[in-house]
Amino acid sequence: MSTTTTPEHDHATADLIQFLEFPSISTDPAHNEDTANCADWLVTKLNGIGLQAEKHPTAGHPVVVARNEHKPGRPTVMIYGHYDVQPADPLDLWKTPPFEPRIEDGVLYARGSTDNKGQILAHIIGVQQAIAEDGELPVNLIFLIEGEEEIGSPNLKDFLEQHKDELKCDLVAVSDTGMVGKGKPTFTYGLRGIAALEVRLTGPSVDLHSGIYGGAVANPATALARLVATLHDADGKVAIDGFYDEVRPVEDWERKAWKKLPITDDELLKLTGSPELFGEKGYLALERCYARPTAEVNGIASGYQGEGSKTIIPSKAMVKLTFRLVPDQDPTHILQLAVAHLRKHLPPGVEMSFYLGHSGNPYVADPHSKAGEAAQRALRATFPGAEPALIREGGSIPIVQTFKDVLGVETLLLGLALPDCRAHSPNENFPLENFHAGSVLNRHLLKELAAGV
Ligand code: BES
Ligand code: MN
C-alpha cells in the first residue's frame, strides 16, 4: 500500500476535500442526515462566493438552488449537478476509506470525487474566480444541484414544474460525463436512458430440506436462472419482443468518428479487466456502449451465501434488472415489454412479482447547434491544440431530457471524468488537473455563452 501524500492544497482543493467528506449516499436512509448536511455545506459555499443560495426541501433529499443578480438582455444559463453519491461498498477494496479523501500523485481518491462533486465544484470555483476577478459574471446564472441523481431524480421533475418561472433559462450546462482520454476534450451530445425493474420469485413458504423435498417442488433459484437466461440470445442481443422497435440507428458519421477515438478495444479490455469483450453482434464495442440498448443484471440473490454448503431449496429468488435505452425508446413502454416477456417465459412452479424502479429518458441533441459550437469553443480554449471529440455516453442523467420537456431547453454535456476514474467503483478518483481544468472551462463557457446562444 502506498503512503498518502499531502501536497500543499490550494483553497479549491481544500473545499473539494470538505465536500467529499460528507457520505451523501442518497439511496441509504441511514445517510439522510449526512446528505442534508452536505446540502447545507453547498448553500454556505455558494452564499460565500456572492450568490443567493437556498436549500429547498422535497419529498426526498433537498435541492440546492443559487443565482446571481439577473440582468435583462443576458442569456440565462443553468448549471446542473448532483451532490449525492453511490454507496461505497465493497469497502475492503478501497485503498483508503471512501469518505477520507486522499491525494496521491496529483489524483484525489474519494467516493464522489469524479461523480459528481469534483465536477460540480469545479463550476462553482470557476464562478467564484470570475466574481472575484471581474466583479460579476457575464451571464444570468442558476445553479441547480440535487441530492437524488443517483437514485433517478424521483422528485426533480415536480420541483422543475413547481419552480418553472424561477428556473426559466436558455440552456443547461452539465459536467457529469467523461473525456475520451487524458487531455482529450470531449463534447457529449447524447446519453442513454434507463429503466429499472426488480423481479422476485417465490416457491415454498420456507427454505426446505433439498433431500426430503427435492424433486417434489420447483426451485426458485433454478427458475430465476432460466428466466434471466431468456433475456438475451447467445449473441448478446436482447430477446424481448419489440425491444428494438423504436431504436434510432447509429449514423454513419458517428460510426466513422467513434472508430477514430482513443478508446480502442484493447483499451476497453484494460479498463474493464474482463477476459474479452462481448455484446450485440454487428456493432463495435463503443457503439454498443454509446448508442445501443442493453438489458443488464445488476444483482441476483437466492439461497445460501455463507461458507461451506447448506442443502436447501431456497424459498425465494430475486434479480435487479436495468435496461439502458437509446433514442427513441420509452422507459415505460420498455418496462411493459419486459414484464410481458418475463410472464411469458416464467418457468412452472413459482410465483412472480415485480417492483418498478427509477427510469429516465435517453437524450440526444445536435452537436452543431449554436450552443453546441459555443461549448466546443470553450473546450478548445481550455485544452489548447486539441479538437473536441464528439460522443454519446452510455451512462444516464435522467433529468436531462426532462429539462427539455419541462423547461424547453437543450443541455450541454461537458464532462471531465477520465475513463479510469472508477465512478461507482472502489477507489473512485479525479485528477486535480481535471478539477482545475473544470473551473477554467466554466469561465470560457460562460464567456462563450454570454456572446449569444
Ligand atoms: N455521471 C453519471 C452518468 C454518466 C456516467 C454519464 C458516465 C456519462 C458517463 C451519473 O451520476 C449516473 O451514474 N447516473 C446513473 C443514473 C441512474 C442511477 C438512474 C447511471 O447512469 O447509472
Ligand atoms: Mn453516478
Whether residues 28 and 135 share a domain: the answer is yes
pLDDT (0 to 100) of residue 452: 79
Decide if 153 is inside a domain. Answer: yes
State the CATH number of the domain containing residue 333.
3.30.70.360
pLDDT (0 to 100) of residue 71: 97
Name the residue of 80, 176, 192, 363 to mutate for ligand 1: max ligand atoms within 8 A of Cβ.
176
Whether residues 220 and 98 share a domain: the answer is no
Query: Based on the structure, what is the number of domains in the chain?
Result: 2
In tens, the pLDDT along 234-286 reads 999 999 999 999 999 999 999 999 999 999 999 999 999 999 999 999 999 99
211: containing domain:
193-247+293-360
CA-CA distance, 143 to 306, in Å (whole number)? 47
CA of 144 to the centre of ligand 2 (A): 17
Decide if 277 is inside a domain. Answer: no
Whether residues 369 and 345 share a domain: the answer is no
pLDDT band at 438 (very low <50, low <70, confident <90, very high): very high
Domain finish residue from 332, 360, 388: 360
The pTM score is 0.94
In tens, the pLDDT along 112-128 reads 999 999 999 999 999 99
Establish whether residue 395 lines the binding site of ligand 1, counting it when its CB lies within 6 angstroms of any ligand atom: yes
In tens, the pLDDT along 374-409 reads 999 999 999 999 999 999 999 999 999 999 999 999
Decide if 282 is inside a domain. Answer: no
Whether residues 26 and 59 share a domain: the answer is yes
pLDDT at residue 5 greater than cutoff 80: no
Whether residues 46 and 187 share a domain: the answer is yes
Domain finish residue from 328, 360, 392: 360
In tens, the pLDDT along 25-72 reads 999 999 999 999 999 999 999 999 999 999 999 999 999 999 999 999
CA of 348 to the centre of ligand 1 (A): 37
Whether residues 334 and 445 share a domain: the answer is no
Whether residues 356 and 379 share a domain: the answer is no
In tens, the pLDDT along 408-437 reads 999 999 999 999 999 999 999 999 999 999
Decide if 2 is inside a domain. Answer: no
pLDDT band at 9 (very low <50, low <70, confident <90, very high): very low
pLDDT (0 to 100) of residue 453: 80
Establish whether residue 178 lines the binding site of ligand 1, counting it when its CB lies within 6 angstroms of any ligand atom: yes
Whether residues 354 and 387 share a domain: the answer is no
> Given the DSSP bridges, would you call strands 171-174 and 294-302 parallel, antiparallel or unpaired?
unpaired
Scanning the structure block, which residue is given the C-alpha cell 440582468? 71
pLDDT band at 7 (very low <50, low <70, confident <90, very high): very low
Whether residues 14 and 100 share a domain: the answer is yes
Establish whether residue 359 lines the binding site of ligand 1, counting it when its CB lies within 6 angstroms of any ligand atom: no
Decide if 203 is inside a domain. Answer: yes
DSSP string, 323-337: EEE-TT--HHHHHHH
C-beta atoms surrounding 24 within 10 Å: 30
Whether residues 187 and 197 share a domain: the answer is no
pLDDT (0 to 100) of residue 92: 97
Whether residues 181 and 235 share a domain: the answer is no
State the CATH number of the domain containing residue 83.
3.40.630.10
In tens, the pLDDT along 156-212 reads 999 999 999 999 999 999 999 999 999 999 999 999 999 999 999 999 999 999 999
C-beta atoms surrounding 262 within 10 Å: 12
For 282, residues 6+ apart whose C-beta sits below 8 A from its C-beta are none
Domain finish residue from 307, 326, 360: 360
Whether residues 174 and 243 share a domain: the answer is no
pLDDT mean across residues, the chain? 96
CA of 177 to the centre of ligand 1 (A): 8
pLDDT (0 to 100) of residue 10: 80
